[in-house]
Amino acid sequence: MSIKANLQEVLAGITKDVTLVAVSKFHPNESIMEAYEAGQRIFGESKVQEMAQKYETLPKDIEWHFIGHLQSNKIKYMAPYVTMIHAIDSLSLLKEIDKHAKKVNRTISCLLQIHIAKEETKFGFSFDECRTMLNEEEWKKLDNIRICGVMGMATNCDDQKEIREEFNSLHTFFKEIKEEYFKDEESFKEISMGMSGDYEIAIEEGSTMVRVGSKIFGERIY
């Protein structure tokens, strides 16, 4: 199947209130343009240099989402154009994003990455670490970032019950901190969870944003 057909198949299984981030990392501009010409406008990348090169050469109405683990010394390269950063796992990272966003007179949308999987290799706040960070309220002083929700990745396994429970735990946590810290913030509405292998379960468990790559573009090109 073509990228266009793959994209249409994925979109057919997504409700209108769920945003599709087409994960284009490691795929060439030609593949992105095929999805773009089929109507897709939001793309996800995990390498700052690769995303910058694509930003420079592809249509400017594309929304670029950074979905990888972010090093603070790379923020300045994406600050002028990135739409959303999905993987915030520390207050210090929020401060750095705020600093560089201020320099280019932008407000950058951010998601708090929560560690919900059993794999130790995945990044993110624990629930308690996130609560502590929010309680300390330093983030409220940052004028050039906007916390829009949470992001999480389930354990990479075939146990659908476990995956569902992990996604459910993130949805429950989102509702808790929405009520406690973001009750009056309309922009705090995103639960970014679900990838090519589990996005259907994620949507059933309350995801508002899915990150789908191989189901659209095929296997990655390294």
pTM for this entry: 0.94
CATH code where residue 26 lies = 3.20.20.10
d(CA 70, CA 93): 8
The residue segments making up the domain with residue 81 are 3-217
pLDDT at 40 over 70: yes
pLDDT of residue 15: 86
Higher pLDDT, 120 or 1: 1
Number of other CB atoms surrounding residue 90 within 10 Å: 17
pLDDT of residue 214: 94
Give domain status of residue 196, yes or no.
yes
- What does pLDDT average to over the chain? 95
Q: Is residue 32 a contact partner of residue 58, using CB atoms and an 8 Å limit?
A: yes
State how many domains the chain has.
Answer: 1
Percent of the chain with pLDDT over 70: 98
Task: Encode pLDDT of 140-159 as tens digits.
Answer: 999 999 999 999 999 988 89
pLDDT of residue 152: 96
- The DSSP output letter for 186 is T
The DSSP secondary structure of 189-214, one letter per residue, reads -EEE---TTTHHHHHHTT-SEEEE-H
pLDDT of residue 123: 82
pLDDT at 220 over 70: no
Give domain status of residue 62, yes or no.
yes
Give domain status of residue 159, yes or no.
yes
pLDDT of residue 16: 87
In this prediction, residues 14-33 reach a mean pLDDT of: 95
Give domain status of residue 222, yes or no.
no
In this prediction, residues 76-83 reach a mean pLDDT of: 97
Confidence of residue 1 (pLDDT cuts 50, 70, 90): confident
d(CA 107, CA 80): 10
**For residue 89, with 0-12 CB atoms within 10 Å meaning exposed, 13-18 middle and 19 or more buried, which class applies?**
buried
Q: Which of 4, 12, 5, 14 is nearest to 209 (CA)?
A: 14
